[in-house]
Amino acid sequence: MQRILTRTRLRAGSEAAYERVHAAVPPALAARLRAAGVQDWTIWRDGQDLVHLVEVEDYRAMRKALADDPVNAEWQAVVNPLLEADDDYSGGDDGIPRVWSLADQVDA
């Protein structure tokens, strides 16, 4: 299982709308995320900054599976206007590089 950290940024003034649409994502999207190997996806907001922790079997495979998925495309059409930059699910990113882990150090 991978734990991937990513970040996005909201357009100014769209904070309430972003939280409103995330109060409960559509069940069809949740099912597609699970089918693509996502165990959990947690989002924190600090002002306009969003931090995402994605717990997934294979992050790149999940992004590839959802890139052309019509349910995900419908969701992105709702969310992307709220963000400073669209997420089109292209590219081969691996999230924010991890620097250190207490558990890795202590349990090694």
Tens of pLDDT along the chain (108 residues)? 999 999 999 999 999 999 999 999 999 999 999 999 999 999 999 999 999 999 999 999 999 999 999 999 999 999 999 999 988 787 778 999 999 999 999 997
pLDDT of residue 87: 83
Q: Rounded distance, CA 2 to CA 53, Å?
A: 10
Give the residue ranges of DSSP H helices in 36-83. 59-67, 70-79
- List the domains of the chain with CATH numbers: 2-81 (3.30.70.100)
In the beta sheet, which residues pair with residue 43?
Answer: 52
Evaluate if pTM is beyond 0.85.
yes
Please give the span between the terminal C-alpha atoms of the chain, in angstroms, as a whole number: 18
Encoding tokens for residue 9?
Answer: 């940024």
pLDDT of residue 89: 82
Q: State how far Cα 61 lies from the chain centre.
A: 14
